[in-house]
């Protein structure tokens, strides 16, 4: 494409131009700069790059060999060349997220301004630091998976190289905070996602600014502005791209997802003698109950107990006891305290083994009590 085909979508107060052209968001930098990025084209630490960009790729591209040019780096060079810029003077990120769903947030304090531009998707590829690996890179061969959070962060101050690294850390923490506040599930473990396996970031600093910054941690105003803009932009971009938001998460089936529980698991545990209704009727009632705030609050409480058990913060016995009491308070008349004392509950006819992993026990107990609610509703 020729440069005349570019369209200015947004002009920042410090002169950067954000251009949208089909599948690419490109930012022209009118000042000398330092850039720290995860780009496979001119990535790492660079100085005086005039162009940075974020590019959408089709979700069918799963392997670097599938890219035009045969590799990610070669493909990025072709993209920037077609946009009319030299591959030697640009750095870019790739994502399956669509550019029209990008979110832009800015925050200012006195003369300091921070701007974050984010595209995001986490539904397919969400993961938590330390989850089981998805691939091993061998001779530059790896597998690309859709679902990426890309962050372009611009600071109109002069960040020293070490401050640039600290800004990247703060931005990453802000991204993880946004995911935590949405309780976004990892797709590779029972944890809450801290990002995706293919996330990218660029931090751009204006070295022509007279304002020199030596700290970008949470205690600094710069760190606060980075945290605010990145967290807000990630939250908005996730909602625009995949519909992930607080309303979608206000559903106990959505919350149970990260523990591998599906609607079919509820149906399978309906007692044969109580199944005087069709699966379709059952699932209709289940989906209705799933968004009842009282039950969502119950499930979130139970899952937090199970999380604390997985993290080694609470013992199994106390988790089971607290879980039983919480369910009894919320759903209750159906659990007989005498049976609990004997090691039995209405959800299990056999004595509870000691020690026992509380995860299946608590989840099955909740499923069985929920099924009693549904049976009562249907019969009424």
pTM above 0.85, yes or no: yes
Could you tell me if 93 and 200 are in contact, meaning their C-beta atoms sit under 8 angstroms apart?
Answer: yes
pLDDT of residue 345: 45
Cβ atoms < 10 Å from Cβ of 43: 18
pLDDT of residue 305: 98
Tokens of 5: 């085909």
Tokens of 262: 């599906």
Q: Could you please state the CATH topology (level 3) that the domain comprising 3-244 is classified under.
A: 3.60.70
Nearest to 213 by CA among 222, 225, 204: 222
Cis omega (within 30 of 0) for bond into 365? no
- Which residue ranges make up each domain of the chain? 3-244, 252-379
pLDDT of residue 70: 85
* DSSP character at residue 102: -
Distance of CA 267 to the CA centre of its chain: 29
Up-side HSE of residue 307: CA atoms within 13 Å toward CB?
A: 15
Q: How far apart are CA 319 and CA 331, in angstroms?
A: 18
Q: How far apart are CA 92 and CA 49, in angstroms?
A: 11
pLDDT of residue 227: 97
Residue entry with tokens 């009562």: 376
* DSSP character at residue 67: S
pLDDT of residue 353: 53
Nearest to 283 by CA among 374, 368, 380, 362: 374
Cβ atoms < 10 Å from Cβ of 237: 28
| Per-residue pLDDT in tens (0 to 9) along the chain, 380 residues | 344 445 667 888 888 999 998 899 999 999 999 999 999 999 999 999 999 999 999 877 667 777 888 888 999 999 999 999 999 999 999 999 999 999 999 999 999 999 999 999 999 889 998 888 766 666 555 555 557 999 999 999 999 999 999 999 999 999 999 999 999 999 999 999 999 989 999 999 999 999 999 999 999 999 999 999 999 999 999 999 999 999 999 999 999 999 999 999 999 999 887 678 899 999 999 999 999 999 999 999 999 999 999 999 999 999 999 999 999 888 865 445 454 444 444 443 344 555 588 999 999 999 999 999 998 888 77
pLDDT of residue 183: 97
């Amino acid at each position: 494409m020729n440069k005349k085909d570019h369209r200015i979508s947004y002009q920042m107060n410090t002169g950067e131009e954000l251009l949208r052209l089909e599948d690419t968001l490109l930012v022209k930098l009118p000042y000398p700069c330092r850039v720290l990025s995860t780009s496979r084209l001119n990535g790492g630490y660079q100085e005086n790059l005039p162009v940075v960009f974020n590019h959408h790729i089709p979700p069918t591209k799963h392997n670097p060999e599938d890219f035009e040019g045969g590799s990610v780096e070669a493909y990025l060079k072709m993209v920037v060349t077609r946009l009319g810029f030299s591959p030697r003077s640009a750095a870019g990120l790739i994502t399956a997220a669509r550019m029209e769903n990008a979110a832009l947030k800015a925050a200012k304090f006195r003369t300091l301004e921070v701007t974050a531009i984010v595209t995001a998707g986490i539904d397919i590829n969400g993961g938590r630091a330390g989850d089981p690996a998805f691939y091993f890179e061998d001779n530059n061969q790896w597998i690309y998976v859709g679902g990426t959070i890309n962050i372009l962060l611009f600071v109109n101050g002069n960040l020293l190289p070490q401050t640039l690294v600290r800004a990247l850390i703060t931005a990453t923490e802000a991204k993880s905070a946004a995911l935590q506040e949405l309780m976004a599930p990892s797709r590779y473990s029972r944890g809450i996602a801290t990002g995706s396996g293919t996330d990218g970031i660029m931090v751009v600093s204006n070295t022509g600014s007279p304002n020199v910054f030596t700290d970008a941690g949470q205690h600094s105003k710069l760190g606060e502005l980075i945290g605010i803009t990145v967290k807000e932009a990630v939250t908005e971009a996730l909602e625009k791209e995949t519909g992930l938001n607080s309303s979608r998460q206000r559903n106990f089936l959505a919350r149970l997802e990260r523990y591998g529980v599906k609607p079919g698991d509820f149906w399978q545990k309906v007692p044969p003698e109580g199944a005087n209704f069709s699966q379709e009727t059952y699932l209709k009632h289940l989906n209705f109950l799933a968004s009842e705030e009282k039950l969502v609050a119950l499930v979130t409480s139970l899952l937090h107990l199970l999380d604390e058990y997985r993290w080694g913060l609470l013992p199994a016995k106390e988790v089971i006891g607290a879980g039983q009491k919480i369910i009894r308070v919320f759903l209750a008349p159906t659990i007989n305290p005498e049976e609990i004392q004997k090691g039995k509950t209405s959800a299990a006819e056999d004595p509870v083994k000691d020690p026992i992993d509380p995860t299946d026990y608590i989840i099955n107990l909740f499923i069985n009590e929920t099924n009693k609610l549904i049976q009562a509703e249907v019969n009424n």
